Amino acid sequence: MRNNNVSIIGAGLIGSLLGIYLRKKGLEVGLYEKRSDLRDKNNVPEGRSINMALSDRGWKALDRIGLREKVSPMALPMYGRSIHDEHGETSFLPYGKENQAIYSISRRDFNELLINEAESAGVNVFFDHLCEEIDISKTSLRFSYADGQKFSKESDVIIGADGAYSSLRDAMQKQTRLNYKQEYISHGYKELTIPATADGEFAMDPKALHIWPRGMFMLIALPNPDKTFTCTLFLPFEGEKVCFDKINDKSDLESVFRTFFNDAFELMPNLTDEFFNNPTSSLINVECFPWQKNKSLLIGDACHAMVPFFGQGMNCGFEDCFILDELIEKFGTTSWELVFEKFQKIRKPDTDAISQMARDNFVEMRDSVANPKFIIRKKIEAKLHELYPHEWVPLYTMVTFSDMKYSDAYAQGRLQNEIMDKVMSDPRITQNYKDINYEEIIHLIETARMV
């Protein structure tokens, strides 16, 4: 039995990377994308992209196929959060140690590079192929083109890397006993831009991720190589206070921006046009199980779409590819069902954990980072990590600057959180935090770990 023909649905970041991995294993790989080729310059972006923040797990997956050098020039390091208060004052909160950074990268540029790499590796990439129907028991697919023509294909293996609205998952939902859950958060987002200054420079510090935390809502900005910033505004769709539903004209919009984001507003000459022309997108969390049926598998957002607030969606999807590739390495390309079963079993607790952490982090980003006690808390944790680099690793560091299992990071994070809650409960902590007995805290965490 032939077993080397793999169809990947979706030529986004995850599908393209996976295509390269599998092709390098000697497999015949077809990569099917419903959209047009984004390398075609007539293909205008939709204005709904949040910049990606590439971190350690993502780099590790790129290293596996030697892509770090090609990707580096398009990735800008951000060493911490630059927090903007309502008066335009900023404070800098490092993400980790001195040289640790997450890297801002344009989704489109990155995707173009990966598609080029996939093609060079010998992956057959097909655009304008809408996957209309999948028969999971036969691993057969039917596509339709923009002109209405249909095309059928049989495959040995089908992998759905087709995102939060996956067609393969749809098929599984109808053809198998799939447990499935989708939840929208109450907030939506809109892409905006801060252009380069008149003399062609960055309008703000390009070595930081900028945040304007305003309690129930926030604005963020990530730098691009062309000296612009891609901004994302997160607001509730509807409500009593500031929300998308209540911004209906230029004057509503300016009033919100002048009140809450005045320093950013001064840097956004195209705000009105962008706000009213770019779509308002929603944010979904998807969980399902099993991810596998026979020789079909879901990967990336298709089985675990998460909210973007930990910057891990892409990194987690890349790590999916890495782990899947390791399993194929171990068990070969003839035991797909075994590989897929192992994959979902290993991976599900980790993707559940990062999805939950991503939801938790929304509160941290939009609210807590504006709180002086939170900043002290972060400082204490950074000091603990400096003094006891193995005994105390901040949650952000475990997730972003390591490849430990997300579920372990989550569990450790919870233990540390409980202890930090105790530390912070001292009413005089704002004055006393420099004289804390760090050894005692380490003793507490070690005891907690033994329980």
Candidate list 46, 85, 86, 183; residue touching a second copy; CB under 8 A: 183
Candidate list 177, 390, 428, 434; residue touching a second copy; CB under 8 A: 177
Q: Count how many residues are written for the chain.
A: 451
16: three-class secondary structure by DSSP: helix
CA 328 remoteness from chain centre: 25
Looking at this protein, which amino acid is placed at residue 62? L
Closer CB to a second copy, 84 or 348, in the complex? 348
336: three-class secondary structure by DSSP: helix
* Binding residues for a second copy restricted to 217-256, rule: CB under 8 A: 237
State yes or no: residue 182 binds a second copy (CB under 8 A): yes
Closer CB to a second copy, 152 or 417, in the complex? 152
Determine how β-strand 124-126 pairs with β-strand 28-32: parallel
d(CA 65, CA 117): 10
Closest approach, Cβ 107 to a second copy, in A, equals 22
State yes or no: residue 173 binds a second copy (CB under 8 A): yes
- Crossing angle of the two packed helices 13-24 and 107-121, in degrees rounded to 10: 20
Closest approach, Cβ 168 to a second copy, in A, equals 15
State yes or no: residue 184 binds a second copy (CB under 8 A): yes
Token output for 316:
């987690």
Candidate list 42, 99, 149, 179; residue touching a second copy; CB under 8 A: 179
State yes or no: residue 165 binds a second copy (CB under 8 A): yes
Tokens 């900043």: give the residue.
375
Closest approach, Cβ 142 to a second copy, in A, equals 15
* Binding residues for a second copy restricted to 247-306, rule: CB under 8 A: 282, 284
Closer CB to a second copy, 166 or 416, in the complex? 166
Closer CB to a second copy, 174 or 443, in the complex? 174
DSSP state of 388: S
Q: How many residues bind a second copy (CB under 8 A)?
A: 14
Closer CB to a second copy, 41 or 181, in the complex? 181
User: 134: burial class by Cβ within 10 Å (0-12, 13-18, 19+)?
Assistant: buried
Closer CB to a second copy, 140 or 176, in the complex? 176
DSSP state of 279: P
CA 193 remoteness from chain centre: 20
State yes or no: residue 181 binds a second copy (CB under 8 A): yes
| Binding segment toward a second copy, per CB under 8 A, in 138-146, 170-178, 220-228, 340-348 | 170-178
d(CA 353, CA 343): 16
Candidate list 92, 145, 151, 180; residue touching a second copy; CB under 8 A: 180
d(CA 251, CA 272): 9
d(CA 27, CA 39): 25
Provide the binding-site residues for a second copy, judged by CB under 8 A: 165, 173-174, 177-184, 237, 282, 284
